[in-house]
Structure 1
């Protein structure tokens, strides 16, 4: 049982670090770099976020398995379960809109800014809080 909690701790904090580094650091900063155009930034962003989403799905599966096997509190289970639900909402509800817009821009069209970015950022912010709370509560089992 302790091994499952160890997995939850490790995955929660690594997942948290990746989301913070990519979504809140890399994504906005790449557009400030000299010579990075909107098209180039979108191309880079698609690659980076595709990789992040694959890793997040693996982490979500690991967390799910560990939660089934472990003895985490209801609050910890709920927080990490929320992180998984938020990830799925991002991938199913928001990402397709962002992809359609970036497809249009990459094809040379003038696409208006998407409000989907704000939804993605809001979900990402709540996911960060859920991962932090879930990881801290997993640590509290020690």
Structure 2
């Protein structure tokens, strides 16, 4: 395995692990912890997801750069690009809507549930599936 492919594998699987751990374990569990109110949970979530998205951006760039410097399978390129595209949509289209809603909740406003959360989770699922496909394609080379 070349250095570029090994770097891409590392980037893809670390990215996958972070998404699974934060989005599908930490996020839902924090609201079940004793003493965590909605405002506290939202405040924690904003910080955690800002950090996650920053780390994902770095890992995505590392994986894409590593793929560009090697001769990866087409499936790995398409899957990584799909995961990166899902992240971009989250950052540009979904996170701002979630931020506006959480700002309103933190300010004490009564706001209806948001479908933006469903969009964010759907994009997380797309990222997870894409990163699994990318990792398998790179390891199957």
> Could you say which TM-score interval applies, normalised by the shorter chain?
over 0.9
TM-score if structure 1 supplies the norm length?
A: 0.97
Is the aligned partner of 1:16 residue 2:16?
A: yes
Distance, in Å, in 2 between the alignment partners of 1:44 and 1:131 is 26
Distance, in Å, in 1 between the alignment partners of 2:112 and 2:4 is 46
Q: SS at 2:48's partner residue?
A: helix
Match of 2:114 in 1: 114
* Structure 1 runs not aligned, ≥5 long: none
Deviation at 1:110, TM superposition (A): 1.2
Higher relative contact order, structure no. (Cα contacts within 8 Å, ≥ 6 residues apart):
1
Question: What CA deviation, in whole Å up to 9, does each residue of 1:81-117 have, x standing for no partner?
Answer: 1000010011101111000000111111111110000
Match of 2:61 in 1: 61
Distance, in Å, in 2 between the alignment partners of 1:61 and 1:122 is 22
Distance, in Å, in 1 between the alignment partners of 2:22 and 2:43 is 15
Aligned residues: 141
TM-score if structure 2 supplies the norm length?
A: 0.97
* Aligned-pair Cα RMSD in Å: 0.9
Deviation at 1:140, TM superposition (A): 1.2
Runs (4+) off by over 2 Å: none
**Contact 2:12-2:60 at 8 Å conserved across structures:** no
* Structure 2 runs not aligned, ≥5 long: none
